[in-house]
Amino acid sequence: MNSTKLIDSHVNFGHELLVNSIDKIVKESLDNDIHRMLCINSNLYDFNKDLTLVNNYSCIDISLGHHPNLVDIIDLIEIEHLLELHLNQSKKIIAIGETGLDFYYEANRTKQIDSLKIHFEVASKFKLPVIIHMRDSEEQITPLIKQYRDKVPNILIHCFTGTGEFAKKCIDLDCYFSISGIFTFKKADNLRKTLKILPKNRIIFETDSPYLTPDPHRGKVNYPKYLKIILSKYCDLVSMETKEMSDISNSNYFNLFSINN
């Protein structure tokens, strides 16, 4: 691969497997041409911790949000309060999320929907894009994306693993998609098929470190440096040059998050 600069759009730097080695991870990332990363906040009570971790790195952006699987530890009123409080205090936040609907487990479905609506409302007030996490919830999330699509600047479906039918609906609603290492897994035939229909000008890439390590490193801790594998396997899948796709996805990242580059 000839010096292709890449952006990892989803890194959980606050995770216990990464939190103590940020310096090393950033250095390794830069050595591997990952020149920008987005630190994802997924627990509003941890935002200050996440911000302190990455505040001094100009190559790391940060998001603000509360993960659907964590809604039981927080009151809805507190979600709204903490979102607004941090948005008023930190200029580094480029997106709201991750928020969303995760219906893989039975718990808290109504509260997840209410939390997602609050994230959308605040994003619309502060004119920020929204990063959506979703699992087993295509039917329930589609009307919400429709309802809020024009109220927020952009919507990103992170770690896209949806069906072709859902992909088409999101394409019609002009959403962005981020592609993680899941499609490199042996059993991901359906996903590989669906990825081929996503428009190139709406695609960005992510590792979701420390989760979802791409093949052939599956089972180990994931790091942003493995983004190269994801890009190169995606380019194999759609018969494209990595340099061309990384240029496109970099400008998608800047458009999606309204960053002047």
Q: In what helix (H) or strand (E) does residue 23 lie, and over which residues does it extend?
A: helix 22-31
In angstroms, what is the minimal distance from the CB of 165 to Zn ion? 21
Encoded tokens for 189: 């035939």
Nearest to Zn ion of 15, 92 (CB atom): 15
In angstroms, what is the minimal distance from the CB of 79 to Zn ion? 17
Question: Is 119 near Zn ion (CB under 5 A)?
Answer: no
**Candidate ranges 18-26, 88-96, 129-137, 177-185; the one touching Zn ion (CB under 5 A):** 129-137
**Candidate ranges 56-64, 125-133, 180-188, 236-244; the one touching Zn ion (CB under 5 A):** 125-133
Nearest to Zn ion of 68, 234 (CB atom): 68
Nearest to Zn ion of 11, 81 (CB atom): 11
Query: Any idea what DSSP says for residue 17?
Result: T
Nearest to Zn ion of 60, 100 (CB atom): 100
Burial 42-70 (b: 16+ CB within 10 A, else e): bbbeebeebbebbeebeebbbbbbbbbbb
**In the window 191-220, what residues touch Zn ion (CB under 5 A)?**
none
Residues 229 and 181: beta-carbon distance below 8 Å: yes
Distance CA 34, CA 227 (A): 8
To 10 degrees, the CA torsion angle through 12, 16, 18, 23? 120
Question: Is 66 near Zn ion (CB under 5 A)?
Answer: no
User: Number of C-alpha atoms within 13 angstroms, CB side, residue 249?
Assistant: 30
Question: Is 133 near Zn ion (CB under 5 A)?
Answer: yes
In angstroms, what is the minimal distance from the CB of 126 to Zn ion? 21
In angstroms, what is the minimal distance from the CB of 68 to Zn ion? 9
Q: Which one-letter amino acid corresponds to residue 232?
A: S
Nearest to Zn ion of 41, 250 (CB atom): 41
Interface positions with Zn ion (CB under 5 A)? 133
